[in-house]
A and B are shown apart, each in its own frame.
Chain A
Amino acid sequence: MMNADLRRERAAATFQPELLTHILDGGPDRTRRRKEIEALVINDPDFQHEDLNFLSRSQRYEQAIRKSSLMVMKLREYGIADPEEIYWFKRTCLGSFPEPFGLHFSMFQKTLETQTTDAQKEKWLPLVRGVKIIGTYAQTEMGHGTHLRGLETTATYDPATQEFILNSPTVTSIKWWPGGLGKTSNHAIVLAQLYTQGQCKGLHAFIVPIRQLGTHEPLPGITVGDIGPKFGYDEMDNGYLKMDNFRIPRENMLMKYAQVEPDGTYVKPLSDKLTYGTMVFIRSLIVGDSAHSLSRACTIAIRYSAVRHQSELKPGEPEPQILDYQTQQYKLFPLLATAYAFHFVGAYIKDTYRRISGDINEGDLSELPELHALTAGLKAFTSWTANAGIEECRMACGGHGYSRCSGIPDIYVTFTPSCTYEGENTVMMLQTARFLVKSYTQVSSGQRVTGMVSYLNDLSRQRIQPQHVAARTVMLNDPVSLVEAYKARAAWLVEAAAKNLEAELNHRRSKEDAWNKTSVDLVQASEAHCHYVIVKLFAAKLAEVSNAAVRAVLTELCLLYALCGISKNTGDFLQAGILTDAQITQVKQRVKELLAAIRPNAVALVDSFDFHDSHLGSVLGRYDGNVYENMFEWAKKSPLNKTEVHESFHKHLKPMQAKL
């Protein structure tokens, strides 16, 4: 039976959640197909298991391996091959948790597909696709992560035997963190500094067998293991790998682009930008994941806030739903709006990537720098925001949010590493900044720039200070006008950072020093640019929505997202003269009105994300809202409750009481 509060909330919604679900999925057909695939998992008893939170790390890893293996088999059985469909299948199966084979199918297979010669493809791809070998991608070392050039692993070519000799010459050069490396994989793609004919040729990728097929024992010369417990990712055997004079044949270097000939002659690749493609792709996935993870946390927190009653708003009346408190709305609704915003951004990047990557294969790389710059910043912006947002959702659930049964701790610990992996966020922001400064410099020297940075053209050409256009014209109820305000802020901050950088350079600092001295400004400029892009994409999305009721509620969310962003960054808008004190006061007032406007649709808006309970993995966020009874049921399964009297009583408590 459905909780009465939730039933009431759903009845009061002003729009049909299914219609919004269709928009999020990309059409009713996609929704139908997604549900079909999810049902395959949900109705399959093979995928049922105990809550992983009750298991030890080793048991969790074992469960994960079992599931990974099952998924391989079942996907094949069902003939599911489309990447998005595989993704739906897997996420339903995995809930909040990673899979140890994750890197096999993403990085290992993908790298082999894109960076190998035809001969290599022929040899390796059948093994990989048939899971006759399991591989991972070993890039990060103990001493170096995002700064790739600093990696220390070496691969020295020996023309006498036509082999590469791989070494981890220092402690810091030990490969550290790759998923699936510790216990699962028997092969790895290893990134190493290539030495041939006495010269270092920079980083290259090599296929390295690490465990004996058949026994799974590490090969001689290989030291491999698990890096120990982490914040989350208990299911994943993130590993270390140390190589001592380990030899692999020449053919194990991935040679689509750069090559080493049998005599050791090095043949340079055409462009080193090519390898960016995979990075861009993975970062675009993180943007989507930011939306996805934040949506799940919002679903849990908002449903629970509709079920939980506490304290009193009006004397003598029953305790209200906590969702009726303004402070609770102020915590959750902006995050809900953010989740929608990020969803649309994720979809945009995916589409753009698909379009541009078509061009890459045909050799047109002109759009790659902008996409690379944009995804770097957006990856950082969305993952930082989602990370903090998930935490806020958890805290909005009070004490029960802290229990593992809420599901939010799992979402959090699984999501939070994305602030660091695939490019540390601050470094990502500075990559975007580099592109922005470059664009600004181009504009200053009279060239025009295109794409998302084209607003810089106006700034320089017309020499119009933002305050002159903006202060009069910003209309707080018009998303398009708010996009202009964000644009003016981005332009203002990019210009300020670029000028500060110039000033530092004029102080005769080295380029690197000047850059470092300006980096706090540069990060702010990048953030403002990303923020602008997000507001712009959200506002643009509204025009595509045909159903009036859905458009109305999305417009409210879009306005809330944009206005909250202003109210949390008032300093920029005031100092740049984009908004006046009086407008800031109006913004804050308008935000509160929007909270009240969104309130009746809050539950329907999270229902629209359409997460099945088994995927949500939360007692607090259950669709039926029967929270308390199920918390009790859940707790009874806790390992500490396996016996009524815990053995500690006999071992410690009783003797103590006897002695004292």
Chain B
Amino acid sequence: MALLETRKYLQGSALGGVNPDLASERQTPSFSVEKLTALLDGGEENTRIRRAVVEAIESDPVFSRENQYFQSQNEKYEAAVRKAVHLQKKMHEMGWTENGPEFKYIYRALSGEIAFLLHTIFMRSISVLGSDKQIAKWIPLAMQYQLIGSYAQTELGHGTYLQGLETTAVFDITTQEFILNTPQISAMKWWPGDMGRSATHTVVFAQLYVQGKCHGVHPFIVQIRSLQDHSLCPGITAGDIGPKMSFEHIDNGYLMLQNVRVPRENMLSKFCEVQPDGTYVRRGSQQMNYLTMTAVRVALISHEAVTPLMKACTIAIRYSVVRRQSKLKPGEEEAKILDFQTQQEKLLPHLAAAYAFHFISNYLQDLFNRGYEEIQRENFSMLPELHAFSSGFKAIVTQYCASAVEVCLWACGGHGYSLLSGLPSLCTRILASCIYEGENTILFLQTARFLIKCFMAASAGHPVPPSVTYLAAVKPGKCPAKNKFDFLSPDIYTQAYRHAAVRLISSTAAKLQVLIQSGVKKHDAWNECTVQLVQAVKAHCLYITVKNFAETVERLETKGGIQKIMKHLCDLFALHGIFSNSGVFLYDGHISGAQMDMVTASYLDLLAVIRKDAVPLVDAFDFTDKTLNSALGSYDGQVYQRLYEWARKSPTNTQTNPAYEKYLKPLLHKKLSKL
């Protein structure tokens, strides 16, 4: 094929260096990109380590994702297993350990496309819920991969509502065994990762029955496949649950248990135990249980929500300065689409949100670490706040990021829909995060319970956790802004968010009370108010996010222009929130109609300001091309050439077309009857 000419670049080398439209964006950033990267990583040393890990992984062909978009479900699964196995070798080779500073970057470098993630959860649940003896028995086996573990909690009929699980474990005193059963179809375990094809063992959550009495849900270690030939153990029916929107590399599985017997010692018994004579003993605090959930939720905010949003922003923003479409001024060349206000409005607030949520995720991680230390000292007082925080923020961040990633996809026009853009995979994957580890609506309502309780306590003058003390100081007041520049003051917008949060929480609490006082049963009253409660929790989380962003900016160094650009992003995030939910702020007149026009004006001004630094701001996320795996978002911006080259590698082009001989030819030659 003749060498393609292009409009104005691509002469010379294979892909012709960096596209000038992208290069020009990088010429005069207002800040030091390298310094911002270091800030995001939490220090230069971390940046160095991260880059070394990414380099080691990406230079290893076993970890290649080159064919990712062309693989079938079976091929993806096999690749994920191959990578997981190879990773063990790699870690050994590189001297990386599970507790080392490199570990957390491995997942990022692999973009999470690896099997045996549930193996880790399997181990964690044994460490947290198991007795010392159980830990000593199982953990070494798991570490050595003498077995592969999974974690079987969710059933066909029940998810987030754990008390409703239907699997049973009945203690048989004569043989000192538990007999496990999934008594009806809805009790079948459904969704656990790694369980469909890989796992040999799993932690099964089941209703414990001893001498006819139900003691609620407890965890049991159950072997499901032979360690010799991997065939299913007697009484076990297991398999893959079939294709999903994403996670095709994971064998999410189903599991039916028919009179499966496990020894008494297989019930994880740090907190509860069934003694040989059938006595049920409960000891210690079950609250540690919550801690695992909290830890998982806090971690996933960063890995599964914020990072994908950062990637999507990188792809969409780089593409938006390469793509030129229609003219802004007659006679000039077509404009970069990022110069259109509507395109800025789609992407830049989400870029600001990626930063806002990055900082809130750091904040939560710190809070969690502090809480964890306290808990180690047997002080559980922070737990309710931690739990509420992790639930509410898991819900709001995953929900926000999921829809933001979708916006990035749409913002790339038609090409966004090509898998080669990288955006559809980011999109379908992040969508799952709204459901797993607690369905978002239910999590919002868990946080609502905490907030309402705190509000009541605060109103009665009782002490409340630090994050909610603001609820005690309810003061009406109007927004003092006089002109659009006043809205660039963090005090002013933070106050507006706070006002909205207090109003929504207090009015919902009042509504609840009115209902209860009028004779409505507590549970009905709660259900009556749930729509408002969800809105109140969102307002609370957004207030904390804005406040934390503003305080973070305050603490940043002024060198390298970092503080200035972060301040712009903070302003943008805050004002976009007011602009797009204006009713919440106009209601009760905290912000007047005239002030709302000022908000809009300031907000639109900020879009133009941040536009100039948009590319450096995504460059600072420092994703390699291999990590992005996007024909649209590569660092060099050679979008069209790459799209064409990648498409030609598609099996639909490299293999013959069976449909022609079988169907098209008879159709065209009117031999339809033979079809």
Contacts and interface: CB of A to CB of B under 8 A. Distances in A.
A226 B653 contact: yes
Interface string B243-277: 11100000100100000000000000000000000
B242 interface: yes
Contacts of B342: 426, 430, 519-520, 523
A73 B670 CA distance: 10
| Residue from B69, B431, B436, B524 whose CB has the most chain A CB atoms within 10 Å | B431
B164 A657 contact: no
Nearest to B444: A327
B197 A142 contact: no
B243 A225 contact: no
A68 B161 CA distance: 45
Contacts of A213: 668
Interface stretch (A90-98, A193-201, A274-282, A572-580): A572-580
Given A402-B245, A640-B251, A649 B230 contact: yes
Interface stretch (B36-44, B205-213, B279-287, B415-423): B415-423
Contact of A571 (B74, B529, B581, B588): B581
A421 B6 CA distance: 25
B21 to A, nearest CB: 12
B243 A229 contact: no
A131 B330 CA distance: 45
Contacts of B463: none
Given A225-B647, A314-B523, A147 B326 contact: yes
Interface string B125-157: 000000000000000000011101000001011
Contact of B72 (A56, A309, A327, A635): A56
Contacts of A444: none
Interface stretch (A31-39, A539-547, A625-633): A625-633
Contact of B646 (A54, A228, A645): A228
A463 interface: no
Interface in B449-476: none
Contacts of B485: none
Interface residues of B, number: 143
Interface stretch (B77-85, B351-359, B487-495, B546-554): B77-85
Contacts of B406: 391
B4 interface: yes
Given A58-B651, A231-B424, A635-B242, A653 B85 contact: yes
Given A516-B328, A628-B157, A648-B198, A66 B417 contact: no
B498 to A, nearest CB: 19
B26 to A, nearest CB: 22
A419 B416 CA distance: 11
A325 B530 contact: yes
A336 B420 CA distance: 34
Interface in B651-675: 651-653, 655, 657-660, 662-668, 670, 672-673, 675
Interface of A: 53-54, 56-58, 61-62, 65-66, 68-70, 72-73, 130-134, 140, 142-147, 149-150, 152, 169-172, 174, 176-177, 182-184, 186, 213, 216, 223, 225-233, 237, 240, 244, 308-315, 319, 324-328, 330-331, 388, 391, 394-395, 398-399, 401-405, 409, 416-417, 419-421, 424-426, 430, 510, 512-513, 516-520, 523, 569-575, 577, 581, 584, 588, 592, 628-629, 631-632, 634-641, 644-649, 651-657, 660
15 contacts: A134-B664, A147-B326, A170-B7, A171-B644, A223-B1, A401-B435, A426-B346, A430-B342, A516-B339, A570-B584, A574-B583, A631-B190, A639-B72, A639-B73, A640-B73
B5 A640 contact: no
Contacts of B428: 231, 409
B664 A184 contact: yes
B517 interface: no
| Residue from A213, A233, A657 whose CB has the most chain B CB atoms within 10 Å | A657
Contacts of B586: 570-571, 574-575
B363 interface: no
A177 B198 CA distance: 39
Contact of B230 (A132, A144, A573, A653): A653
A518 B157 CA distance: 51
Contact of A69 (B325, B419, B672): B672
Given A313-B527, A405-B242, A131 B81 contact: no
Contacts of A636: 239
Given A240-B647, A398-B159, A638 B240 contact: yes
A327 B424 contact: no
Contacts of B227: 657
Given A150-B334, A311-B161, A574-B586, A628 B77 contact: no
A326 B156 contact: no
Given A314-B521, A516-B341, A629-B185, A227 B73 contact: no
Contact of A399 (B186, B191, B644, B673): B191
Interface string B204-244: 00000000000000000000000101111000000111111
B658 A656 contact: no
B90 to A, nearest CB: 13
A-B CB proximity, top 6 nearest: A570-B583, A571-B582, A640-B240, A226-B652, A638-B242, A571-B583
B254 A632 contact: yes
B7 A172 contact: yes
A222 B542 CA distance: 55
A520 B244 contact: no
Contacts of A645: 229-231
Contact of A183 (B148, B415, B534, B652): B652
B290 interface: no
Contacts of A328: 441
Interface in B45-69: 69
B657 A72 contact: no
Given A184-B664, A574-B587, A645-B231, A326 B6 contact: no
A656 B85 contact: yes
B245 A216 contact: no
Contact of A575 (B420, B593, B652, B665): B593
A310 B417 contact: no
B240 A330 contact: no
Contacts of B145: 656-657, 660
| Residue from B74, B158, B659 whose CB has the most chain A CB atoms within 10 Å | B659
Interface string B335-372: 00001111101100000000000000000000000000
B628 interface: no
B410 interface: yes
Contact of A653 (B148, B156, B244, B528): B148
